[in-house]
Amino acid sequence: MSDACCSHEEPSGEIGDPDHRETERLWEITELRAAAVSGVLLITAFISGRAGAPGAVEPSLQAAALVVGGYTFVPSTLERLAKGRIGVGTLMTVAAIGAVALGEIGEAAMLAFLFSISEGLEEYAVARTRRGLRALLSLVPEQATVLRTGIETMITPAELRVGDRMVVRPGERIATDGVISEGHGAVDVSAITGESVPMEVGPRDEVFAGSINGTGVLEVRVTATAQDNSLARIVRIVETEQARKGASQRLADTVAKPLVPGILVAAAAIALFGAIFGDPATWIERALVVVVAASPCALAISVPVTVVAAIGAASTFGVLIKGGAALEALGRVRTVALDKTGTLTANSPVVVEVATVDGVESDRVLIVAAALESRSEHPLAGAILAASGQVASATDVEAVTGSGLTGRIGERPARLGRPGWIEAGPLAAEVERMQHAGATAVLVEDNGTVIGAVAVRDELRPEAREVVARLHATGCRTTMLTGDNARTATALAGRAGIDTVHADLRPEDKSRLVAELRRDRFTAMVGDGVNDAPALATADVGIAMGAMGTDVAIETADVALMGEDLRHLPQALNHARHARAIMLQNIGLSMGLITILIPLALIGALGLAAVVLVHELAEIIVIANGVRAGRIQGLPPAAAPARTPAATAVA
């Protein structure tokens, strides 16, 4: 790795490469193997010197230890220098060469030994924390069963083509994305989305690579190749976006990049001053010690290790975070704006009430409504058809844009539509009550007379109120942004406990309001990634809800909740805050270390070996601290009692 810790280059190996095997054990790390050999040589040299071995034995063993340890960073440092790039490896190489020039081969070997250990531990830490993302690809089975010319054939997922028909038996993993053409079952998506409840699926339902078929044989029409399915896209996007740096990473870069050439210039000035006014050997040695003391590797690696650890951990509970910028911004969020449909609600309207005029039964109202809706593409049609036990035959059905439907049932004219287009008459009070309760009221007219009103509502997610309470408990304000009317939105927000409501919004209105919220506090926007795309892009952090299979959501948002459980939102916020706190701890420790070591080295209080030891131990500490960001954080405590504010509506 050499200067990797300071140059922020990605570790070798593509995350999307199935042939790339992530390092599993400490002894598989090249730097650590070299450090072990170097350490053995150093110990042998020490023992031989104390045992009275011939004079050439000890320095020869020390030189061998230096060569082995230096192999882990000197060659790559020279390659970078040839490209005009200076990093911490440059400082270490200069210090080692200077120590040898001063006859301190043992101290140079100790420097190389300790530096190779820190490099190896960093490589191991990064490798371990990246496994959360790589593990997604391992969810794809080694073989898939396809039907070709009516015969079942076993092939590798890489051979699947769009349009192929896969046969997935109970207990098998789905090899790539597709749409069910035959069969019903319960698909376990917990390894992908973090949801614990299997998803019931049937014909025309989408299924995704890596899911486990629980019951029933499924025939799935392939819609994406193994190289372009949902898992591969997710991993590619995260790998690409990891280059983005948060503010703390930019701070590390800002300090580290000018520090390296600055220290080299300062060291040269110290050596020159000493050569003119004092003992050249003493001051040259101090200059070399200053070079090592000012090494910013601990500063430079502290944030990247934390970022990779936190992102890898988040992926294991169904949260996709696109790099350090998104992670740090998520940790700073203090206002959460939420879309209503598909985010706070399940985007699955149901009939919640039927009001009738005297002498008419509710079943009659639903039969008339279902007869008209069975011939329409109206968004509420599914809810009404599901609520009606039977569907009568309707003719001459026509849609009146923005109003409703007309048609005939037998010889009788019938209408269904919004209040205003159809006069509510005796049901006016019932309609108003339905609307205040957050439902959409649809009036039904039979043979020129209003017979009933149907209330349809996209119900609040069961966990929505708990989630809002948890957000409030962490100090976040909440606001709802929706295109629905103010009355419906306010009613639903009141049930969820949301602070403020902005209703009757177009996509550009949402974007404008998010920009206004950002002026006061760090703001996250949570939406479905389609009509909310402008607001997601405008927010400090765009969070896509239920993003598995939704390209627009994944591409637009900075963070994607891969499942449909909204409780992952406060968990992700809590996790990001924990990671950001670790970033700041590491930066403070690294800067404090440099501030203390430089003057101690300058006055001669610390020698080369002591400075190297302190500095490399500090690197190990910040790496270990950064890895703590890989611990999955639990849900923050909910407010007790949960708040139930009267949501402020803003049209």
Is 192:136 a contact under the CB 8 Å cutoff? yes
| 542 DSSP β-pair partners | 525
Does the active-site annotation cover 484?
A: no
Rounded to whole angstroms, the Cα distance separating 187 from 375 reads 32
CB atoms within 10 A of CB 227: 14
Instruction: Let me know how long the chain is.
Output: 651
| Number of alpha carbons in the 13 Å side-chain half-sphere of residue 193 | 27
Is 267:288 a contact under the CB 8 Å cutoff? yes
User: Residue 5 is encoded by which pair of tokens?
Assistant: 């810790």
Looking at residue 388, the DSSP 8-state letter turns out to be -
Rounded to whole angstroms, the Cα distance separating 422 from 439 reads 17
Rounded to whole angstroms, the Cα distance separating 418 from 441 reads 7
From the list 164, 339, 446, 558, the catalytic residue is 339
Per-residue 3-state assignment (H helix, E strand, C coil) for 183-208: CCEEEECHHHHCCCCCEEECCCCEEC
Is 179:207 a contact under the CB 8 Å cutoff? yes
Rounded to whole angstroms, the Cα distance separating 298 from 252 reads 10
First to last CA, the chain: 56
Starting at the edge strand that comes first in sequence, how are the strands of the sheet with 319-321 ordered?
319-321, 559-561, 541-545, 523-527, 335-339, 477-481, 500-502, 648-650
User: Residue 345 is encoded by which pair of tokens?
Assistant: 């609600």
CB atoms within 10 A of CB 30: 15
CB atoms within 10 A of CB 33: 16
Which H or E run contains 98?
helix 88-101
611-650 per-residue burial string, b: 16 or more CB within 10 A, e: under 16: bbebbbebbbbbbebbbebbeebebbebbeeeeeeebebb
The four Cα atoms 573, 574, 578, 579 give a dihedral, to 10 degrees, of -30
Starting at the edge strand that comes first in sequence, how are the strands of the sheet with 206-207 ordered?
151-155, 144-148, 165-168, 218-222, 178-182, 206-207
Write the single-letter amino acid at 452. Answer: G
Starting at the edge strand that comes first in sequence, how are the strands of the sheet with 199-201 ordered?
199-201, 185-188, 212-213
Q: Of all residues in the chain, what percent are helix, strand and coil, respectively (each to 5)?
A: 50, 15, 30
Rounded to whole angstroms, the Cα distance separating 235 from 14 reads 10
Single out the residue of 466, 495, 464 nearest to residue 352, CA to CA. 495
Rounded to whole angstroms, the Cα distance separating 551 from 224 reads 13
Question: Catalytic amino acids?
Answer: 339
